[in-house]
Amino acid sequence: MKTRTDLIAEIEYKARLMRRHSLDMALVAGSNGAHLGPGYSECEILATLYFGVMHHDPKNPLDPDRDRFILSKGHGVLGYYTALAESGYFPVGMLKNFETNDSPLAGHPSIHHELGIDYSTGSLGHGLSLGVGSALGAKKAKKNFITYVCIGDGETNEGMIWEAAMTAAHLGLDNLIAVVDRNLLQSDGLSRNIVDMGDMAAKWRAFGWHVAEVDGHSVPALLDAFQERQRPNRKPYVIIAHTIKGKGVSFFENDNKWHHAKITHQEYIDALAELGFNENGEECRHGIHE
């Protein structure tokens, strides 16, 4: 039986692999560029969901009882596609078709149920509304699956988020869990300089949600938050995950240049080295998980 310590180590390793694969995707994207900053800030969140929390089966992607995941911050596909590939929904090698002609792995998610992508997103703000529909549908069908929605920090500026938040609380959707990737940056700069959201937790509580705040890069903290058993009935749940944009590569971190950018071959090699891989993507840290 897998211990909690083993599970945490596996999730942390998966998050590091996801960052490695993301570099390959960014490199093949070439002049199209890639959203490395927002993809990297969410890696522990998605790794914890896909490898430690969610009920899902890559061999049965249409299982009606599967948990649903919605990437409302649709530009964060580097973290999303790599989690799906590492889960087994499609071969890891397919990631190198990212943003190429006729590839299902576009710059924003497009529905491909067989690949584990249940929702098309990208127009910021509407993912939580999709989540409300999914959670309400589960209630009406008397299904027990949970709907998880990952929301961007700047995305909470959108009125549609708060309309969905009010509706979820009004409907008592305790089968809906949102995660705010609170990395304090958005495409145009510091979130507080664009629309200062102030006390984020207080706002969600005022809208009728149960709230937790965690270090969004701490797998133990994320596991505890997702598995909390003391949540009140008939209240949706939001986890505010405090993260660092570009987490994992020093020259990506908190540099909004990497919100969306082209990566040079040398930057690719340097980033791989920081993650503990050589130019061929092979493990190069002694003693690290094989």
Cα separation values, 146 from 56, 123, 189, 226, 252, Å: 11, 23, 33, 11, 33
pLDDT band at 2 (very low <50, low <70, confident <90, very high): confident
Please tell me the distance from the alpha carbon of residue 278 to that of residue 285, in angstroms, as a whole number: 9
Mind listing the pLDDT tens digit for each residue in 113-168? 999 999 999 999 999 999 999 999 999 999 999 999 999 999 999 999 999 999 99
pLDDT band at 288 (very low <50, low <70, confident <90, very high): very low
Pick from 201, 160, 208: nearest CA to 182:
201
Report the pLDDT value the prediction gives residue 229, as an integer from 0 to 100. Answer: 80
Mind listing the pLDDT tens digit for each residue in 214-264? 999 999 999 999 998 888 999 999 999 999 999 999 999 999 999 999 999
3.90.1150.10, 3.40.50.970, 1.10.260.40, 3.40.50.1970: which CATH number matches 4-275?
Answer: 3.40.50.970
pLDDT band at 279 (very low <50, low <70, confident <90, very high): confident
pTM, two decimals, is 0.96
Residue 60 corresponds to which tokens in the numbers above?
């049965």
